[in-house]
Chains A and B, each alone.
Chain A
């Protein structure tokens, strides 16, 4: 069961950026087989810049000049163990490369085979990848001087105006100790909260501390609460589509104050009660899932998710007066 308590996921964000008057032509050049720089005063700067680094003055597209395709390594390091973000899965070099015709260096990867092939002052030359998207990763470098064959170019392709970058980080960690005890309780059909040692209020699910009184809580503070409670607030969510969205139909998201608790459980989703029949003050009973999927929790949410309950059913009891719930809006 230990694996249930190890969290492993990728947090990703897709970025799309407009490229502007200088980076756009530069990335278009990489896609179409040319290396571009900007002439700024007496210097040729690559990668090109939109402004004069000394004065901040705008540098227009008329200052774009072609450089390379070969150049000289002025600094480098050998990446023996690439990360998932690097352009190669095998060992390679990151280098500062002064392309022929440029006065400054650009950072890029050299696929050199072995560290022994690398040295400061060596010549390297660009290689164009087969699948080019208008990003800096459309190219890489190899030792040598021989110009690459002209890549196949789609003459009708639009210039690059947008560049995409999917960023992400892999997160691996154990469930926090208080979350683990909470999940272990759920697996036994019990909802575990924590009673503040300072003011006696019961937090469920607990965050492992009492924020109001600024005190950490321990296993000694654990208490069990009921699986029945009162709706304190709700909204109807109509899903909009975004990267990672899985919802398609409208549903109710509500907060419930479980009997025996002083804090509400947020983020409870109701899919089988009509919104016009739903009320603050309504009494609800949690219907537990029967399978053993309980346990797919991470350290990020604070609620009871749908891995735990099948649905929530009205108990038929009279509503609680909403006036009495004012301290529990969320």
Chain B
């Protein structure tokens, strides 16, 4: 399936607190997300529509104020060719609008919108990620992201690749099964305070380790529960951003990198592309108060913490993360929203949102966010 394959290394001049921002600085000025529904019975369009209407109301702007819209989704999930075209109805397409789409998680739509605003001729962009994956087994879709000649026909899906990576991580003594279970236990506990989460239970490490294997050494709870859902946010250049909100959340860096589709050329126990994206987006240029990571398999949190060189003091996936609810194709964008929400609320000063695509963390996107006026 088509995938964005950009290798941009753009990074805005890093602006720090107490420095003068200029109009090329871009901020998140509003956000909304739906629940992670086990199964949403209405059309995906209505899921998006309710999310977008809440977003515009929250930001206090009208649809016609938005200069550019872009969405990320995957038609295969709902089995509806050109579903992404109908989805535009949810964002509002009348009078005719200027819009784009990526067959990727909404976080990659944010990347394109962020690039677009830097051209300087328009001020406000709306970004949507949505998915209705309940009609299918998403494993039967996402193995198609692999090489179409020598991998995809084998049906090696992301869960199988994750099982291989998890075993390599354990056998190379970079993680233990107990540590992997601890990721799940902490994610479930954190999700208790997230009204959008799908998982509504807690579990002890002992209980988790007693569960049977599925894709050994992974267990069913180590894999994110797929959900139907949507997320949306608005970004704006500085002058408009500060008109719309007194709590803009500035995008100080954004980068994404891709590793080889040839798994034999990758080290599945590390994330080379995350390390590159971290350098490109400036993750290490300041303290990271909060990190929301696109962890669809529990052991990936351990790989990502190491690749991002996160301090023990960083709050990781305080929302519960994807292990507590994975609205496929919106999940990465939700990570951005969860960081932005905490910065806008004054709970954090600086944070990083991570999104991933492909098997075994093949592609990784990092968005560094910070508060201040």
Contact = CB atoms under 8 A, between A and B. Distances in A.
A170 interface: yes
Contacts of A215: 49
B347 interface: no
B264 A106 contact: yes
B150 A47 contact: yes
A117 interface: no
A1 B62 CA distance: 45
Q: Which range contains the number of A residues in contact with the other chain?
A: 35 or more
A283 B150 CA distance: 57
Nearest to B152: A165
A181 B214 CA distance: 40
A120 B218 contact: no
Contacts, number: 170
B260 interface: yes
Given A78-B215, A170-B140, A208 B42 contact: yes
Interface in A49-88: 49, 53, 74-81, 83-87
A235 interface: no
B265 A45 contact: yes
A171 B140 contact: no
Given A115-B216, A171-B135, A214-B53, A136 B154 contact: yes
Nearest to A168: B140
B80 interface: yes
Contacts of B216: 77-78, 80, 115
A285 interface: no
B63 A214 contact: yes
Given A11-B79, A108-B154, A53 B140 contact: no
Contacts of B218: 77
A211 B89 contact: yes
A167 B45 CA distance: 26
B42 A176 contact: yes
Given A173-B134, A214-B52, A135 B153 contact: yes
Interface in B141-176: 141, 143-144, 148-157, 160-168, 171
B99 interface: no
Nearest to A95: B164
A23 B149 contact: yes
Interface in B28-55: 41-43, 45-46, 49-50, 52-53
A69 B135 CA distance: 41
A86 B151 CA distance: 11
B167 A94 contact: no
B214 to A, nearest CB: 6
Interface in A235-270: none
Contact of B264 (A105, A165, A208): A105
Contacts of B80: 299-300
Given A53-B262, A77-B160, A83-B157, A170 B137 contact: yes
Interface string B83-98: 0001001101110000
B136 interface: yes
Interface of B: 41-43, 45-46, 49-50, 52-53, 63, 76, 78-81, 86, 89-90, 92-94, 134-137, 139-141, 143-144, 148-157, 160-168, 171, 213-218, 260, 262-265, 268
In the A-B complex, list the 5 residue pairs whose CB atoms are closest, starting with the nearest: A77-B163, A85-B155, A171-B79, A104-B264, A211-B89
